[in-house]
Amino acid sequence: MAAAHDDSRPAESPPTLEELARARYSRRGILAGATAGFASLALSRFAHAGPDERQGGDFRFEPLGLELGEDHRVAKGHSAQVLMRWGDPVLEGAPPFDPARVTAEAQARQFGTSNDFTAFMPLPRGSDRSDHGLLCVNHESASARFMWPGETKRGSKRSERIAAEMAAHGHSVIEVRREAGAWKVVPDSRYARRITATTPIRLAGPVRGHRRVRTAADPKGELVLGSLCNCAGGTTPWGTVLIAEENFENYFRLPAEYQGPERDNLTALTFEETPPFRWYRADERFDVGKEPREPNRFGWVVELDPYDPDATPVKRTALGRFKHEGATVVVNGDGRVVVYSGDDEVFQYLYRFVSSGRHDPEGREANRDLLDSGTLYVARLQASGRVDWLPLVWGTGPLTPANGFADAGDVLIESRRAARLLGATPLDRPEDVEVDPRTGRIYVMLTNNVLRTPAQIDGPNPRAFNAEGQILEIAPPAFSGPRADDSVPGHHGAPTSRWNLFMLGGDPAKGRPANPDNAVFDPRGRLWIATDQGSNQARRGVPDGLWACETRGPERGRARLLYACPRGAEMCGPSFTPDGRTLFVAVQHPGQGRRADGSAASFARPATRWPDFAAQRPARCAVVAITRDDGGVVGG
């Protein structure tokens, strides 16, 4: 995506790559991305690294080759089962998938398109069952030209198809059970649920009722219809799911004639006059000229209780409004809850939210509104290796009425502008953020940034025209004093941390996957990286997939491919069962992009017809369950 950016620099700007190299690194090592060099740097950089962190080599499987093909592949000794596909029934009474009749009525009861984030939530609630649970899945987007014949754009102009696109977005909750070694969807489950672009969702936190979220349809500013472009997400210790709204600008028309008070806010979020989706043709709330405050009701993190199918989802506005890739939750040593999230666009920022209240492990109801009160912070990464967490608190520093922030709600609605004024560090597309449960270290996926010029390179963004991406590692300081029982190591509420460049994306043949996107730690505390090369997949001839990556020992920073997506697909949403014996992944938009002969894929001629491989049937995104043939832990 092409992102607007600001070339302004904070007062304490990071140095150029040359300055950084002279100060701390070998320039040759950085440009080559030498894995061993980064391993030794990391251990010297984080003073609290102990002997346990220097052990590694825990994965036990033969990595896949890098061939890009029409079928998915999984490492020897493992099996990959297609569990749920676009159009499969979710709710009772859902019709079977019919590619000739993709309608709003059917799609609202079926599994949606572009599955992304997944989360396995054990049944019963509070247990650690690994053979029975709820699978919660985001539906990020849709593509009309791969849903219906004759369409040439991402979004349709036809009102009945627009309605189907809206129903295909959102989230699905399905009940799954493992029997005789295979996973099955429980039909007509009482937990089954579909969230779409028209589902009522409650606003909560500081922005609830704010003047800038009141609309003609909702004059109190308390209830939003729908959740859009749900990318990655997270889970909470009290058994709920967090759904991250990402590229919501794709659904709103910003007409040139609109010059109202929200124009600068929306322009900073890359709203356009002709968005990819033409939903404004069917619903006036997606036309900024007619309802300028509606966009302020999107770009939030949504909390969903999958165990209660009647519970109204909630947009937690205290976590800020931007293009959230995910929302990763940890409990700090003092019991406060911390949520990490990246703003997925070039030259954007890394955030964390620290709750005011403390997690109660014994009382689920006591945690229900824990994410409504606290402080949002943004990261500034210094050349010295220090991370300053800058609070986005109204009335402090530049966040005052003099700069257009009349109250705390304004700061949260315009989190990006507030972060820029505070001097946060612009990063190369900060996407998923995951925390090592054993060490407390934070891993930030930076996917790419081909717009960064040589004059803009710095420590955490060391390459201009960056097409491969990188991963940052952040170590919070040690937490002193009594710890909450379910807390993660490190002080995640501390004002400063330490950062390190963990991996430069690069040549997958050398164990350096390109374009890290999603990530997950398995129950053993091992890092898994999902990739999204975009259009570079066909050029490189390398599939996107899921990589097992060492974070300790002599192999630190080196990865091996466990699962390869079919042609045209990106890898999304890895999640594990509590015992680590099943890994769920989401294969998104298979068959799109380029065919093997280099021609552009289309509905009639997709790059693959995975997973059905049936004539006249389109490619279908799907959730895949990966298990080991001997019943052991995935990855060995």
List, for residues 478-527, the tens digit of each pLDDT value. 999 999 999 999 999 999 999 999 999 999 999 999 999 999 999 999 99
Query: How many of the other CB atoms lie within 10 Å of CB of 596?
Result: 13
**Residue at 325 is within a domain:** yes
Long-range residue pairs from 616-619, CB within 8 A, at least 24 positions apart, any chain: 616/99, 617/99, 618/99, 618/146, 618/147, 618/591, 619/146, 619/566, 619/568, 619/590, 619/591, 619/592
Query: What mean pLDDT, rounded, does the chain reach?
Result: 92
Domain membership of residue 445 (yes or no) is yes
Query: How much is the pLDDT for 57?
Result: 62
Does the pLDDT of residue 423 top 50, yes or no? yes
- What pLDDT score does 24 carry? 36
The answer as to whether 313 is a domain residue is yes
Contacts of 134 (CB under 8 A, 6+ apart): 120, 121, 123, 173, 174, 175, 176, 191, 306, 307
Judge whether 294 lies within some domain: no
> Which pLDDT does position 14 carry in this prediction?
33
Angle among Cα 108, 112, 115 to the nearest 5 degrees reads 155
The answer to whether residues 519 and 505 touch, using CB atoms and an 8 Å cutoff, is: no
For residue 245, which of 134, 171, 352, 331 has the smallest C-alpha distance? 171
- The domain tally of the chain equals 1
Contacts of 43 (CB under 8 A, 6+ apart): 49, 53, 54
Does some domain include residue 278? Answer: no
The reply to whether 574 falls in a domain is yes
Residue 81 pLDDT greater than 80, yes or no: yes
pLDDT(3) > 60: no
**pLDDT of the residue at 184:** 98
Instruction: Find the mean pLDDT for residues 181-196.
Output: 97
Whole-number Å distance between alpha carbons of 598 and 557? 33
Domain coverage including residue 354: 17-246+299-628
Tens-place pLDDT, residues 89-125: 999 999 999 999 999 999 999 999 999 999 999 999 9
Distance (Å, whole) CA 215 – CA 262: 13
% of the chain exceeding 90 in pLDDT? 90
pTM (predicted TM-score): 0.93
pLDDT per residue as tens digits for the range 431-480: 999 999 999 999 999 999 999 999 999 999 999 999 999 999 999 999 99
Residue 388 lies in a domain: yes
The answer as to whether 41 is a domain residue is: yes
